[in-house]
Structure 1
Amino acid sequence: MSVPHLTTALTGPLLELERKILAAQPEIEHWLRNQWQEHTPPFYGSVDLRNAGYKLAPVDMNLFPGGFNNLNPDFHPLAVQAAMMALEGYCPDARRILLIPENHTRNLFYLQNVAALAKILRQAGMVVRIGSMNPEISAPTELDLPDGSKMLQEPVIRTGNRVGLADFDPCVILLNNDLSGGIPDLLKNIEQTLLPPLHAGWAVRRKTEHFAAYDRVVAEFAQIVDIDPWLINPYFEHVDGLDFHAREGEEKLAATIDTMISKIAAKYAEYGIDQTPFVIVKANAGTYGMGIMSVKSGEELVGLNRKQRNKMSVIKEGLEVHDVIVQEGVPTFETIDDGVAEPVVYMLDRFVIGGFYRVHTGRGIDENLNAPGMHFKPLAFATSLSTPDCDGSPDCEANRFYAYGVVARLALLAGSLELEEGSL
């Protein structure tokens, strides 16, 4: 089983970076196979990519991916096969899985994702039940889904060092809950296989640690492909000691932004890129596109108005933001249906199983697209081929975005290193 190739609205000759990645395909696949012999991939993950034409880089890696409902149905058999392989690796005799989602009961798009994930696991041969840690669900509760189906969620209970349901003792607990609100006592020190591990949650994990691991992965990879690591790696810095409400740390943050802008400008000059450098400032933990700003100079962060300070100071679960990642902004040159687009690539175990474009008609090429008003376009299989077409032209469909799957897997490998180093 290899990497499916993602189609895109774009056509035209492959850019130099993609051409180099395509040319090095045998070396890349051999190197990745060796990496997966040494490191265990996360159970699943999704990677937000930005393709600027001159640069293709991951800007976020989610270890608790939602959005399985946005994948093209063509990818489903591949997802099932990948789930089988992942479960064999973690728990060879697994039969029963307890899937624990986020505490949303009214976010119907999210619930459709849970249903899609449960379907993949059931078709991989598992008995799957959905257990909720939501205090509102104190008895088995049926939730209506937009497609007319229903989902049964049942309260999770703990007996000794095992968690399950009243009549269900699972071998594997799969979290689709990113633990932003902290690690619940319910899940601490249990004897079952827990995927992903507790320290993968945002209560512990930090984006800067992920990108530090990604730096190391890319340094090795770039030597194999003979490219400047910057072409697939955004600059980043960590700034802590912030209090947006009290305006503490503003000057330090502004100085970090200005230093990075000048570093990016130097690279743009080196490559003859006619773009205005920008950076993304975002909370160092958490998801949902909260606590994010796109800025072109440090002074934009000094003297924010109250609305902007409120936006930056709190993320999911009402958590306050005291440290941020300052990340090089990568513009996207991809558009679909008059909207700016970025690909999100999904992986199960070490395999790419699909993806979609996140599209926003109200945002610019240098803005965060994970925002209200976005919509999704599933990526289809380019062809039935599961490897690049070595005889085809560089921009034939099978080759068009082989690079997407490669860069996404580099981010996944960084996630693997992160989990190994961060184990509790």
Structure 2
Amino acid sequence: MTDNQSALQLDDIDQTPELAATYCGPLLMIESHIIDNRRQIEAWFREQWRHTPAPFYASVDLRNAGYKLGPVDTNLFPAGFNNLNHSFDPLVVHAIQSAVEHACPEARGMLIIPERHTRNLYYLESVATMADLFEMAGFETRIGSLEDIEAPQTFDLPSGRQLVQHPICRVGRRIEVDGFSPCTIVLNNDLSGGREEVLEDIEQTVVPPTALGWWNRSKFNHFSHYQSLSRELAELIDLDPWHLSPMILDCGQIDFMKREGEACLEEKVGEMLDAIQAKYDELEIKEKPFVVIKADAGTYGMGVMMAQSTEDVVGLNRKQRTRMAASKDGRGINRVLIQEGIYSFEQLGSNGHVAEPVLYMIDRHVVGGFYRVHTKKGQSENLNSPGAEFVPLPFTQPCVLPAPDASPDSDQNRLYCYGVVARLALLAAAREQQDLTGGSSETA
């Protein structure tokens, strides 16, 4: 999520994003494979969750090019809960109860630790929504602050609500706010700047574990897990896994300001473009291949650039190098992920604004999502950037069930397919969590 993002206010807000007609046929093939094999898919997921428990929560950015439907980012400390369709709040509450039961069965109280940039009112709307949902799930909830404040701070939000952030204090091996000592710490800070000392060696359960912060995660590792899982699922349903999974390469030991690692970047970008073109030729896809170069760790759409040729990454000017040199919280970029670019051919309304779905999960349950829309970006550009706005998913049914009697291309079935791909990404994150923490929730 980026700063200053809000719900979209457009004349065509009530229209469902539509896919460009050229690619409806290939998408119908992908959707048909998923819908026709729904029983096998759900049984496969159940078995996977038995061995690899899901992270506490996550959001997944998807791109739909018709001939390819895949994830491009997985956020384990998601914001944007205020942009979900609140008709499905009961589903969210049930998922929260399930997630907390798995993480800390005896929990009665929750403390949310948000990002440090707490004056972004749109982000605070998300935090306030989270607190409301936890309260509805039966947990007394407070919001703490990692900033150096001496007294509670009250924020008036655009929705008319008020949010109160409390200074946190360390009492022995526990975190407290104003005498409130919760069972569980819900981390909504992605730790891009590193681990927080105040959260070290505490006896309360921390979800997600601090080891999943961006100081420690790797996008290359995440998508490596995703590729392995997508191959396994695709074999189960007799589908070419390329339709669900972006190709990836990594390039380490890079310094954009010192121009170190440019040869590696040029070589890997060329290799990726050639591989994409070969697949496009095989499937008679006429689009021009592109790649996305992004920081291997970090979020907020920072440290991202696109390339359609090797010339695009050679001789970057100072402005381009500066933009790629650091991500959120000033974290330096010394390793990048080179990812197959996926076009977004979904468009909102008659104006043709480019849209991409973002799905939200709590525990292993898909609980909703929205379309990220950018009125000033194209089909191959990064929509997670300043100026992005949101349209809550307009479907009338939650995406936990398909409609087998309807067309595979129906709204409910398309959203179910999105949910399958998003859960694949969630499962990849579960494998990451297992690698980084030994497989359990953290009692830090």
Give the Cα–Cα distance (whole angstroms) in 2 for the partners of residues 43 and 349 of structure 1.
5
Query: Mind listing any 5+ residue stretches in structure 2 that lack a counterpart?
Result: 1-14, 439-444
* Counterpart position of 2:330: 318
Aligned with 1:401: secondary structure?
helix
How far is 1:106 from its partner?
1.5
The alignment-based identity, stated in percent, is: 50
* Counterpart position of 1:26: 39
How far is 1:385 from its partner?
8.2
Deviation per residue, 1:114-156 (Å, 9 max, x gap): 0011111110000000010012x22111111112221110111
Give the Cα–Cα distance (whole angstroms) in 2 for the partners of residues 213 and 390 of structure 1.
30
Amino acid at match of 1:216: S
Give the Cα–Cα distance (whole angstroms) in 2 for the partners of residues 401 and 72 of structure 1.
14
* Counterpart position of 1:274: 286
Task: Establish whether residue 355 from structure 1 lines up as the match of residue 369 from structure 2.
Answer: yes
Q: How many residues in Structure 1 have an aligned counterpart in Structure 2?
A: 417
RMSD: 1.5
How far is 1:27 from its partner?
0.5
Aligned with 2:246: secondary structure?
coil
Q: 2:255 aligns with which of 221, 224, 243?
A: 243
Deviation per residue, 1:293-351 (Å, 9 max, x gap): 01011221111111111111111111111111000000011011431111000000101
* Counterpart position of 2:428: 414
Amino acid at match of 2:68: K
Give the Cα–Cα distance (whole angstroms) in 2 for the partners of residues 281 and 399 of structure 1.
32
Give the Cα–Cα distance (whole angstroms) in 2 for the partners of residues 157 and 139 of structure 1.
11
Amino acid at match of 1:299: E
Give the Cα–Cα distance (whole angstroms) in 2 for the partners of residues 258 and 174 of structure 1.
42
* Counterpart position of 1:57: 70
Q: 2:264 aligns with which of 252, 277, 295?
A: 252
Aligned with 1:391: secondary structure?
coil
Asked whether the 8 Å contact 2:399–2:415 carries over to 1, the reply is no
Query: Mind listing any 5+ residue stretches in structure 1 that lack a counterpart?
Result: 1-6
Deviation per residue, 1:55-84 (Å, 9 max, x gap): 000000000000001101112111011001
Give the Cα–Cα distance (whole angstroms) in 2 for the partners of residues 262 and 347 of structure 1.
35
Q: 1:364 aligns with which of 370, 375, 378?
A: 378
Task: Establish whether residue 133 from structure 1 lines up as the match of residue 141 from structure 2.
Answer: no
Asked whether the 8 Å contact 1:105–1:143 carries over to 2, the reply is no
Task: Establish whether residue 209 from structure 1 lines up as the match of residue 217 from structure 2.
Answer: no
- TM-score, reference length from structure 2: 0.91
Asked whether the 8 Å contact 1:290–1:315 carries over to 2, the reply is yes
Deviation per residue, 1:325-380 (Å, 9 max, x gap): 00000001101143111100000010100000010111111111011111100003
Asked whether the 8 Å contact 1:207–1:284 carries over to 2, the reply is yes
Asked whether the 8 Å contact 1:75–1:381 carries over to 2, the reply is no
* Counterpart position of 1:381: 395
Give the Cα–Cα distance (whole angstroms) in 1 for the partners of residues 281 and 178 of structure 2.
63
Give the Cα–Cα distance (whole angstroms) in 1 for the partners of residues 398 and 371 of structure 2.
20
How far is 1:419 from its partner?
0.5
Asked whether the 8 Å contact 2:370–2:393 carries over to 1, the reply is yes
Task: Extract structure 1 runs of 4+ deviating beyond 6 A.
Answer: none
Asked whether the 8 Å contact 1:74–1:380 carries over to 2, the reply is no
Q: 1:194 aligns with which of 183, 206, 230?
A: 206
Give the Cα–Cα distance (whole angstroms) in 1 for the partners of residues 405 and 73 of structure 2.
34
* Counterpart position of 1:224: 236
